[in-house]
Amino acid sequence: MRDVLTQCRDQFAFYADEHRKAGKVEKAETNERFRALADRALSQPGGGGDMGDFQSAVGAWMVEVFGEQIAMDPLERIMRFLEEALELAQAEGMTATEVGRVVDYVYGRPVGETFQEVGGVLVTLAAFCFRREVDLKAAALTEFDRIDSPEMRKRIFDKQAFKRAQGLTSDGGFRAEGGAA
């Protein structure tokens, strides 16, 4: 794995330089972003990193962007996870009615254990990615790289303020306005 990542990093660096010399700034910047992703993966223990490193990096990012209170709030985190899961379902063509049927099914069953359900989420997401031929790790690293720019940090922070005003955050009255008890 380390050899493949090193080769990819070197190729991205080469093409970034070539595109820059040819005046193709956008292509050069794209290759540079991918080179940075490969560097990030190589810098993690094991030459490809593990989930713990990624989880820690995301945790540090959340604290920097939102502050510790919001970053560490379990209700806020699960609300944002649900939002992303629903956006994926929407991107795959599921309707709100279909999602509602799944919600009814899930909430008609006994409550599960958090640790087991997290495992189920990751296994199911990996299975989905396998079927759709999406590289799970590459998608995660690419998204993290995208949201880590100063412009995106500001947009995400501003979007959080909008959600708060709409009562869609844990500190914006979500439970007081008819959310889960």
pLDDT at 89: 97
pLDDT at 69: 87
- Among residues 90, 101, 74, the alpha carbon closest in space to that of 174 is found at 74
For residue 176, pLDDT over 60 is answered with no
Dist. CA 91–CA 85, nearest whole Å: 10
Q: Tell me the pLDDT tens digit for each residue of 32-76.
A: 877 777 777 666 545 455 566 788 888 888 888 888 888 898 998
pLDDT at 168: 79
With vertex at residue 106, the alpha carbon angle to CA 105 and CA 112, rounded to the nearest 5 degrees, is 150
Chain centre distance of CA 151: 17
> 77: buried, middle or exposed (CB in 10 Å: 19+, 13-18, 0-12)?
middle
* Span between the terminal Cα atoms of the chain, in Å: 46
List, in sequence order, the alpha helices (H) in the chain: 2-21, 25-43, 51-66, 68-71, 74-91, 96-107, 114-132, 136-147, 150-165
pLDDT at 7: 72
pLDDT at 133: 93
For residue 88, pLDDT over 70 is answered with yes
Dist. CA 19–CA 12, nearest whole Å: 10
CB-based contacts of 25, cutoff 8 Å, min separation 6: 19
Q: Tell me the pLDDT tens digit for each residue of 114-151.
A: 999 999 999 999 999 999 999 998 899 899 988 988 89
